[in-house]
Amino acid sequence: MEALLLDEQETIFNHYVATHPHGDLLQTTNWGKVKASSGWQYYPLAIQEKGTLQGTALVLIKKLPYLPYTVAYSPRGPLYSSEEALRALWNAGSQLARTHGALVWKMDPPLLRTDRLWPELANKQNLRHQDTGLDFLGVQPRFVMTLDLYPSLDTLLKNMKSKTRYNIRYAERKEVRVFIAKEKKQLSVFYTLLQETARRDGFMIRPLSYYETMWDLLVEHKLAQVFLSYKDGTPLAGAILFRLGKRAWYVYGASSNEQRNLQAAHLIQWDMIKWAKSQGCQVYDFRGVSGDLSPEHPLYGLYRFKEGFGAQIQEYVGEYDLPISRGGYLLWQRALATHQWLRHKKKEA
């Protein structure tokens, strides 16, 4: 097997990702270019045998603040077609990371927790499983909600919780309308809603320029859509939906503080589900929820909202670290602990 970087053959790399059973948009070079706008470098690493790709890993590399080192990360990767290809990817990726001064190569493949092969091979390769808890301490969510899009639209609607179905129909009766954004300037509507949501729920957001880059590299390449809902010309909710191969992901959502009783957030989800199905998608991924499903948990409402559409919870294998050097990995762990402490203090402030 041969390891190579497909810098000049990105179409071939992305085709493998799009057609792989576990392919994720975050493993495409389009996403690598999005991340390049915020200081990352991306490397489309591939394993080839007799001219056919057997595995890929989009490796993102970024310099660590205050340290002369970097960190490597493969979001929702790597992808592989055989055990041999995975081992070859790990070996080639380690060398790539070492060449660029990385202390660790992080990865979080979208494999279910019941997958037996990955943990066994990861243990043999001396990867370290990271316990990120039941909430959102990991880079990507470990617990996700997915909806099977195979049934008819009538059946999908019937399978929803009665309250969710009522809210969708109520929004329709109140003449809330959902539109797909056709022009980049409409991103400003979504971003205003996102700012309002961030202030209400107390989280940080990226600058508008980041979403404009997403438009250029994802929306313009039919890998994402921006949805907006209105009532009499007033924007009430917005969302960004990713799509690759047979899967769609609800990635970003925002809503106004005004007229929340009109249930625009429910209607926009239903329109995105219908759109995803019309594009041939077989799975609608609502993305993350907490793994703690007790009603007392602060994030239980998020689970209830997504479950209302008939989505089922799934748990992935989680995050794994491949240390590039023993001493360097200890340094990385200390740096990460410091970063998390500073982030916590910033959030408190």
Whole-number pLDDT of residue 342: 63
The set of residues, in sequence order, having a beta carbon less than 8 Å from that of 9 and lying 6+ positions away, is: none
Percent of the chain with pLDDT over 90: 85
186-204 pLDDT per residue, tens: 999 999 999 999 999 888 8
Round the average pLDDT of the chain to a whole number and report it: 94
Cα angle value 245/251/253 (rounded, 5°):
140
What average pLDDT does range 10-39 have in this prediction?
97
225-255 pLDDT per residue, tens: 999 999 999 999 999 999 999 999 999 999 9
Beta strands 234-244 and 224-231, pairing class: antiparallel
What average pLDDT does range 43-50 have in this prediction?
96
The size of the chain, in residues, is: 349
Distance CA 206, CA 170 (A): 33
Q: Which residues does residue 237 pair with via DSSP β-bridges, in sequence order? A: 229, 255
The whole-angstrom distance between residue 12's C-alpha and the CA centroid of its chain comes to: 22
Whole-number pLDDT of residue 346: 60
Whole-number pLDDT of residue 158: 97
Whole-number pLDDT of residue 340: 67
Q: What are the chain's domains?
A: 2-131+317-348 (3.40.630.30), 143-315 (3.40.630.30)
User: For residues 42 and 29, is the Cβ–Cβ distance under 8 A?
Assistant: yes
263-310 pLDDT per residue, tens: 999 999 999 999 999 999 999 999 999 989 999 998 999 999 999 999
Whole-number pLDDT of residue 191: 97
What average pLDDT does range 327-345 have in this prediction?
72
Residue 349 has pLDDT above 80, yes or no: no
Whole-number pLDDT of residue 266: 97
Residue 169 has pLDDT above 80, yes or no: yes
82-136 pLDDT per residue, tens: 999 999 999 999 999 999 999 999 999 999 999 989 999 999 999 999 987 777 7
Whole-number pLDDT of residue 339: 65
Helix (H) or strand (E) holding 180: strand 177-180
Residue 341 has pLDDT above 80, yes or no: no
User: For residues 231 and 176, is the Cβ–Cβ distance under 8 A?
Assistant: yes
Place of tokens 């392919």: 23
DSSP 54-121: EEEEEEEEEEPTTSS-EEEEETT--EESSHHHHHHHHHHHHHHHHHTTEEEEEE----BTT-SHHHHH
Q: Can you count the helices (H) and strands (E) in the chain?
A: 11, 15
Task: Give the pLDDT band (50/70/90) at residue 348.
Answer: low
Nearest alpha-carbon partner for 32 in 6, 68, 53? 6
Distance CA 260, CA 255 (A): 8
